[in-house]
Structure 1
Amino acid sequence: MSNLIPTVKRGSDSNNNTGFRTLPSISSWLDDVINNNFGTEFMSNFNTGMTLPSVNVKDSDEEYIVEMAVPGLKKSDFDINIDNKLLSISAELQTDSEEEDDNYTRREFGYSSFKRTFSLPETIETEKISAKYNDGILKVNLPKREEAKKKPLKQIKVS
């Protein structure tokens, strides 16, 4: 028998035939209170910053390729550094707009940023690392040293 007690949002379960009514979880109860009393407009202002971008890391015979989905940025927004075998990719974006109409002035500004770091293996040619940004995808190429590159299969004949 399981020690877990099922929690059901809003405290009801239409399939529960035992008559046992479970309590809602605290997070679902809090979501219900906020959404019912304030609506979704209240919550929409809390998630305006940039989240951590999704990353793909490919390992080919010649290099590692780090692909990061970061649409809406410019090449100049990125800061890519290597420090002590750590690859650091970051970006900052500031927006500032002002609208004036008769007696009303509205000024909105925003700031968002992210930073991702990756430990580099000793087998990377740090002097040859390159980066390109195209169609919202940042691609960082990390070439492998010659001794780390995958060698072709060598067949050994038995004598």
Structure 2
Amino acid sequence: MFRDEFYDSFLDKLPAPCAQSRTDVMETADAFVIKVDLPGFDKDQFDIEVGPDHVVRLSGKQSEEKETEGAKYHMRERSQVEFSRSFRLPQNIKQQEVSAGYENGVLTVTVPKVEKAAEKLKVQVK
């Protein structure tokens, strides 16, 4: 009996699973790519914003599953799940061209970079 009460109250205090989702942020020659493991979501459950402060904000909410009538649950961890993550990127991004995809439980956000200016510009004196 002690174990059940302790176990149940302990589980209730754990953070939502998505709050600890594994995330990769990488930079390629022409973009920043953010990948977040978020299994079980639908594409329409995500909100992605890029603010003027160059912060990419990802959030989402998964609806609570309905209980099966007549069933007795011994453990219930698959309820409503919400997440929110923010990533500050350098100022060399194209905010209007951000794209996102969701496949096999992985949300991928691609933020293109502004074309790099020439490293050295040779100016001819006239």
Normalised to the residue count of structure 1, the TM-score between the two structures is 0.59
1:127 paired to 2:96? yes
Gaps of 5+ in 2: 120-126
The answer to whether the aligner puts 1:49 opposite 2:16 as a matched pair is yes
SS in 2 for 1:91: strand
> Could you list the per-position Cα deviations for residues 63-122 of structure 1 after superposition, in whole angstroms to 9, with x for gaps in the alignment?
111110000100001000112221100011121414434xx999x893221100111211
1:67 aligned to 35, 38, 43, which one? Answer: 35
Q: How far is 1:48 from its partner?
A: 7.2
Matches of 1:148 and 1:139, distance apart in 2: 27
C-alpha deviations, 1:43-80, integer Å up to 9, x for none? Answer: 33433733322110111111111110000100001000
Q: Which amino acid aligns with 2:10?
A: M
Which deviates more, 77-86 or 67-76? 77-86
Q: Which is higher, the Rg of structure 1 or of structure 2?
A: 1
Answer yes or no: is the 8 Å Cα contact 1:123–1:144 preserved in 2.
yes
| Structure 1 spans left out of the alignment, 5+ residues | 1-34, 152-159
Cα 1:110–1:48 shift into 2, 3 Å:
farther
Partner Cα separation in structure 2 for residue 95 and residue 67 of structure 1 = 24
CA RMSD of aligned residues (A): 3.0
CA contact (8 A) 2:48 2:59 kept: yes
1:64 and 1:87 map into 2 onto residues whose CA distance is 11
TM-score (norm 2): 0.73
In structure 1, distance between residues paired with 2:41 and 2:25 = 21
Measured in 1, the distance between the counterparts of 2:88 and 2:42 equals 25
Q: Which runs of 4+ in 1 moved over 4 A?
A: none
Mapped to 2, the partners of 1:110 and 1:60 lie a distance apart of: 37
Q: Paired residues, what number?
A: 113
The aligned residue for residue 156 of structure 1 is: none
More relative contact order in 1 or in 2 (CA 8 Å, sep 6+)? 2
The aligned residue for residue 142 of structure 1 is 111
Please list the CA deviations of residues 108-157 of structure 1 after superposition, one character each: whole Å capped at 9, or x if unmatched.
893221100111211011111100000001111111111269x8xxxxxx
Task: Report the equivalent of 1:92.
Answer: 61
Identical pairs, percent: 23
Aligned to 1:95, the other structure's residue is in SS state coil
